[in-house]
């Protein structure tokens, strides 16, 4: 096996035994990026010199007898997470030359754990999108078929993992942006419970929904990354102060006696038949392994899409008001007065999808419409959360598809926002309810494109989600398959 193909836990063992060095591992990852990223386009910014220096330091620390979770492991970071001294563009022209003066809490935690940072990955602008086609810079391509999207908005991170251009990655998930690209790229991605991972230094899209999650080549790697980034942070007012369990200890290849809920609302008309077949086969396998399958209902599921597209744009319209061309970021140079400067900066700085969502959100919050739209959406959000509360009285986790289809062609849905929004129809509810969700590979369609199985858990019950995912993964070989580039 080549070094860039290793999982984090495999690389850790080899680093610990001294069979490989962090410098060799990081060099292999950089070489791989140089070999394939012209086609995949996963990265917006590369930091090879910094990465090699971090690798040398990691080797010195291994030699000195240190053993910390990610020492010498090369990772990629979605470009919506602030990294001191490294550009953080959010995939937008408005932040094209922005270099943050500080790092996000998750970056501090990765560095404290010894990680090597290779660079920043492409994203839909301000994380608004399901295909990474909304980046102001370029579209990322799916490593399984370069004519298709990798999903979004964390498409760059998912594609980088699938193409072996890093060993692990961070993304952010507001309505499915870790889970959906993980499904489309055939990798593992987890969105933790809202409040489990600090949002300090994550550039805000929708503050009541955004959560940073992790991507890995397998469930073990996801659990390892999640353990490092989780935990209370007083700098984030939404961070929850409760102990972080040992996620590694939860990885047991056993689901006997566990109750798995299958929501009837998640198998709908218009789904790609091969997706339903693969997900049903995965559920059958879990039943053969000793799990009890429970038929459940989440009756307000059909409202999740409209609720999300009122609440998220409303929060975005408030969060994105700060990009005015005055304090930082792009500023339109030839304005006639201050109002003209504001207008032109935002006109030329933001892309079409971001403008669309700002207008949707501003309308929903405007006088005379606030009660009719925003307030009502928040009330229905509560009903969606209550559906999950009732369902979890009957089951331990919920299993269902991650996305209704496999990866679609680049440009196929670009002119149809509603069809694009429907790509997240199975992931939005967990985000609205603040629940943890994970996607892992469970098969392929006739075109050889990966299919994702989604596992959702109760609040702060990531260990059970990881356990079911690990048990399924150990019983199958989907996660071992890689695209040929």
Largest CA distance in the chain: 71
How far is C-alpha 307 from the geometric centre of its chain's CA atoms? 21
**In angstroms, what CA-CA distances link 170 with 30, 146, 210?**
18, 22, 13
Question: Which helix (H) or strand (E) segment is 319 a member of?
Answer: helix 304-319
Count Cβ atoms within 10 A of the Cβ of residue 324 and give its class: 0-12 exposed, 13-18 middle, 19 or more buried: middle
Question: Quick check: 252 and 465 in contact, CB under 8 A?
Answer: no
Dist CA 60 CA 163 (whole Å): 29
Lateral strand order in the sheet of 397-401: 43-46, 116-121, 74-78, 168-173, 211-216, 188-191, 437-444, 450-457, 397-401, 259-263, 292-296
- Minimal CA–CA distance to 275: which of 417, 412, 449? 449
Burial bucket for residue 234 (CB in 10 Å: 0-12, 13-18, 19+) = exposed
On the 0-12 / 13-18 / 19+ scale of CB atoms within 10 A, 485 is middle
Tell me which residues are annotated as active site: 78, 153, 177
Nearest-angstrom CA–CA distance, 340 and 471: 58
DSSP letters for 199-231: -TTBPPS-TTT-EEEEEESSHHHHHHHHHHHBS
């Amino acid at each position: 096996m080549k070094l860039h193909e290793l999982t984090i836990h495999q690389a850790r063992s080899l680093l610990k035994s001294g069979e490989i060095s962090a410098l060799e591992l990081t060099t292999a990852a950089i070489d791989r990026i140089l070999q394939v990223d012209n086609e995949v386009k996963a990265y917006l910014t590369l930091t090879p010199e910094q990465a090699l220096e971090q690798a040398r330091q990691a080797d010195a620390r291994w030699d000195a007898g240190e053993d910390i979770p990610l020492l010498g492991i090369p990772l990629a970071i979605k470009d919506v997470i602030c990294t001191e001294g490294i550009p953080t563009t959010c995939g937008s022209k408005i932040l094209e030359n922005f270099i943050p003066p500080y790092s996000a809490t998750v970056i501090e935690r990765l560095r404290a754990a010894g990680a090597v940072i290779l660079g920043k990955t492409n994203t839909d602008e301000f994380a608004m999108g399901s295909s990474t086609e909304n980046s102001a810079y370029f579209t990322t391509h799916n490593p399984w078929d370069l004519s298709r999207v990798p999903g979004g908005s964390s498409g760059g991170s998912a594609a980088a993992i699938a193409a072996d251009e890093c060993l692990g990655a961070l993304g952010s998930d507001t309505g499915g942006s870790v889970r959906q690209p993980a499904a489309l790229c055939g990798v593992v991605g987890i969105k933790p419970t809202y409040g489990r991972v600090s949002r300090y230094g994550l550039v805000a899209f929708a503050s009541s929904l955004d959560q940073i999650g992790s991507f890995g080549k397998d469930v073990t790697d996801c659990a390892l990354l999640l353990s490092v980034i989780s935990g209370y942070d007083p700098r984030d007012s939404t961070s929850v102060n409760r102990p972080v369990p040992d996620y590694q200890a939860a990885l047991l290849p056993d689901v006997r006696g566990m109750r798995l809920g299958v929501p009837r609302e998640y198998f709908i008309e218009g789904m790609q038949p091969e997706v339903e077949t693969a997900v049903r086969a995965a559920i059958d396998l879990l039943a053969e392994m000793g799990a009890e399958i429970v038929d459940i209902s989440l009756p307000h599921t059909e409202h999740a899409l409209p609720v999300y597209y009122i609440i998220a744009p409303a929060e975005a319209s408030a969060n994105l008001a700060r990009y005015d061309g005055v304090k930082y970021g792009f500023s339109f140079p030839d304005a006639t007065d201050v109002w003209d400067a504001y207008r032109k900066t935002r006109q030329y700085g933001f892309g079409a999808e971001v403008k669309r969502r700002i207008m949707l959100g501003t309308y929903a919050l405007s006088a005379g419409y606030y009660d009719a739209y925003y307030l009502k959406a928040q009330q229905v959000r509560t009903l969606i959360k209550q559906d999950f509360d009732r369902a979890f009285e009957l089951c331990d986790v919920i299993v269902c598809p991650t996305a209704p289809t496999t990866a679609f062609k680049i440009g196929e849905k670009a002119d149809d926002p509603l069809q694009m929004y429907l790509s997240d129809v199975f992931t939005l509810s967990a985000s609205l309810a603040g629940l943890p969700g994970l996607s892992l590979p469970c098969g392929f369609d006739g075109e050889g494109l990966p299919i994702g199985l989604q596992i959702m858990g109760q609040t702060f019950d990531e260990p059970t989600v990881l356990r079911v995912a690990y048990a399924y993964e150990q019983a199958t070989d989907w996660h071992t398959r890689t695209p040929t580039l």
